[in-house]
């Protein structure tokens, strides 16, 4: 039995860098020297969790990266906005959310950099919806797959964890949710049409 549905944002509710070449495009657009490429990769390998906790701002990191950028960036350039500018609407998701909203309560549970979700909303990249609960890692300072963020999300949903369906594109996040008794569905962002149909079947 399902009573509440949580959607991940990047790679589910919208198309982000998952299973795309958008990361390479961003790196190439910055025209980094070799040291800059290493800095960028190290940052997102080792500091991304801190950024998703809201402890590091990606535009502050841009200042450190600036000496290694070999092209002139526009005034006011924002690395955060450059990320979001590369995201795309998941055109298959509106019908999913519309269907879910008729039968269940629903919300977002996402690992997100500070200010990123605001920019996503500003660019209207998410399906039109009244998200009842939003658990943004950069706001609550907890990240998936930590058990604490799922415990908080369970509390905010206000239902038995066994009655929560969680849709995410990362298996380790789903594994963590399953340990609390949640139902889960793995979303493949490289095939959104098929994945969205799987959600519709699960909530039918």
Dump the DSSP string for the chain: --SEEEE-TBTTTEE-STTSSHHHHHHHHHTB-HHHHHHHHHIIIIIHHHHHTTSS-HHHHHHHHGGGB-SPPPTT--HHHHHHHT-EE-TTHHHHHHHHHHHSEEEEEE---TTHHHHHHHTT-SPS---SEEEEHHHHT--TT-HHHHHHHHHHHTS-GGGEEEEES-HHHHHHHHHTT-EEEE--TTSHHHHHHHHHHHH-
CA 190 from chain centre, in angstroms, equals 15
Cβ pair 105, 3 in contact under 8 A: yes
Quick check: 35 pLDDT over 80? Answer: yes
Residue-level pLDDT at 63: 86
> What is the per-residue pLDDT across 64-117, written as a single tens digit (0 to 9) for each?
888 888 888 888 899 999 999 999 999 999 999 999 999 999 999 999 999 999
What is the Cα–Cα distance from 184 to 107, expressed in whole angstroms? Answer: 14
Both tokens of residue 109?
């549970």
The token pair that represents 108 in the structure block: 């977002």
Q: Percent of the chain beyond pLDDT 70?
A: 100
Q: Residue 124 has which token pair? A: 């209207």
pLDDT at residue 42 in the model: 85
Indicate the range of 2-6, 13-17, 62-66, 199-203 predicted with least confidence. 62-66
Arithmetic mean of pLDDT over the chain: 94
Supply the pLDDT for residue 62: 86
The predicted structure's pLDDT at residue 170? 96
First vs last C-alpha separation in the chain: 11
Identify which of 193, 183, 185, 22 has the alpha carbon closest to the alpha carbon of residue 93.
193
Residue 176 pLDDT level (bands cut at 50, 70, 90): very high
At residue 44, does pLDDT exceed 80? Answer: no
- Provide mean pLDDT across the span 141-154: 98
Distance CA 170, CA 16 (A): 13
Q: What local confidence, expressed as pLDDT, does residue 61 receive?
A: 87
Of the two residues 192 and 47, the one the predictor is more confident about is: 192
* Predicted local distance difference test score (pLDDT) of residue 66: 87
The helix-helix angle for 93-103 and 192-203 (nearest 10°) equals 10
- Can you give the pTM of this predicted structure? 0.93
Number of Cβ within 10 Å of residue 40's Cβ equals 20
């Amino acid at each position: 039995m399902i009573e509440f549905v949580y959607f991940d944002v990047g790679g589910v509710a919208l198309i982000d860098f998952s299973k795309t070449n958008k990361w390479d495009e961003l790196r190439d657009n910055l025209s980094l020297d070799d040291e800059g490429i290493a800095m960028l990769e190290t940052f997102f390998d080792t500091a991304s969790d801190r950024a998703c906790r809201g402890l590091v701002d990606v535009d502050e990191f841009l200042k450190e990266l600036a000496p290694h950028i070999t092209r002139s960036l526009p005034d006011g350039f924002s690395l955060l906005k450059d990320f979001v500018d590369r995201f795309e609407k998941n055109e298959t998701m509106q019908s999913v959310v519309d269907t879910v909203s008729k039968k269940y309560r629903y919300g977002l549970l996402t690992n997100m950099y500070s200010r990123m979700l605001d920019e996503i909303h500003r660019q209207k990249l998410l399906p039109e919806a009244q998200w009842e609960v939003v658990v943004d890692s950069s706001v609550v300072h907890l990240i998936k797959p930590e058990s604490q963020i799922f415990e908080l999300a369970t509390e905010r949903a206000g239902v038995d964890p066994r009655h929560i369906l969680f849709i995410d594109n990362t298996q380790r996040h789903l594994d963590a949710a399953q340990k609390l008794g949640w139902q889960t569905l793995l979303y493949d962002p490289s095939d959104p049409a098929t994945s969205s149909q799987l959600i519709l079947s699960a909530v039918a």
